Amino acid sequence: MPFVSKDKIFSLAWFRDYSYITIGSFILAVGFVYFISPHKVVPGGLFGIAIVVHYLTKGMSELWPDGFPIGLFSLLVNIPLTIAGIKILGPRFGIKTVAGFVLSSAFIDWITFMRVDGEAPLVNDVLLSCIFGGVLIGVGTGMIFKSRATSGGSDIIAMIIAKYSGMQLGQLMIYVDSAIVLLGLAAFKDWQIPLYSWLVIYITGKAIDITLEGFSYHKALFIISHKHDEIKRKILDDLERGGTYFSGTGMYTNEEKQIIYTVVSRREVAILEKFISEVDPDAFITVMDAKEILGEGFQSLKTKVED
């Protein structure tokens, strides 16, 4: 059973993590308040449900004539969800997760309250709002994830269902978010809403990946060539890169082959391909995008974990 790691209070790691949570929660809140909720877009998650409830309760209460506050609704639902998650799944939801959903909820309602133009969208173009809102929500959520916290909400629901159903968590999260998107369709009776909502979900996912992994301009190469020794010298001496040899056997010829695996920059790919074409035009090369490179010569794994 995974347990929550504990950082020493007021240590550098503690300040770093809670800075990520605070800044990430604020950025996430800005994305929702200025770009997503004004257009009634429902991008899954507990905040998506809160947006539906907010607009359906408009004018129903003298206390909240504009609708039940999005942040407050999320907070009230997240608290019992987190307690249920701890009881069912074990102590994997620490104080950082609680801080994340509390700050996100508080920032959403505070920013909404401080706005002088009510709930008017910052940008009237819905597509542009979805793009910018998705990026901001993704960056904010990614920063919360970097502190090794979770956003709670629908994630906990998916984890609980996964425990009892045996289904993959990733698939369940898609199903849960899609059900929430369709809830927005049923509530607002507008087919454009789920289309925009799924667009926001996609953009948010990409922004989370970039926030966690960063941009990478490196390529991973597998090279099969009879001139592997010359290629090795080119990689080591001219490009000043490293690599690894793998032994392989040709499926058709049953011939033993040496396979070079290396990681180089995009510029160095062109240099290496030009060199290989000259020494062995029959070489076989596979070039792949390398999303994240950790280890000697690249980003330190220790630094990555600490960041």
Q: Answer whether residue 293 shows pLDDT above 80.
A: no
What's the sign of the alpha-carbon dihedral 263, 267, 269, 275? negative
Instruction: Write down the pLDDT at residue 4.
Output: 47
In the predicted model, is pLDDT for residue 214 greater than 90?
Answer: no
Question: pLDDT tens digits for 69-95?
Answer: 999 999 999 988 888 877 887 665 678
Question: In this predicted structure, what is the pLDDT of residue 274?
Answer: 92
pLDDT score, position 91 = 65
Q: What is the pTM of this model?
A: 0.77
Every domain of the chain and the residues it spans: 12-213, 218-306
**pLDDT band, very low/low/confident/very high, at 3 (cuts 50, 70, 90):** very low
For all residues of the chain together, what is the average pLDDT? 86
pLDDT per position as a tens digit, 243-285: 999 999 988 888 899 999 999 888 889 899 999 999 999 999 9
| Tokens encoding 89 | 């799944």
What confidence category does residue 176 fall into, taking pLDDT thresholds of 50, 70 and 90?
Answer: confident
With b for 16 or more beta-carbon neighbours within 10 A and e for fewer, the 175-204 pattern comes to ebbeebbebbbebbeeeebbebbbbbbebb
Least confident piece of the model among 26-40, 103-117, 177-191, 212-226: 212-226
Both tokens assigned to 34: 């200025």
Question: Which fold would CATH assign to domain 218-306?
Answer: Alpha-Beta Plaits (3.30.70)
Give the CA distances from residue 168 to residues 42, 123, 159, 209, 268, in Å, rounded to whole numbers and listed in that order.
24, 38, 9, 20, 39
Between these two residues, 171 and 307, which has the higher pLDDT value?
Answer: 171
Is residue 17 over pLDDT 80? yes
Q: Which residues, 6+ apart, have CB-to-CB distance to 271 below 8 Å?
A: 238, 239
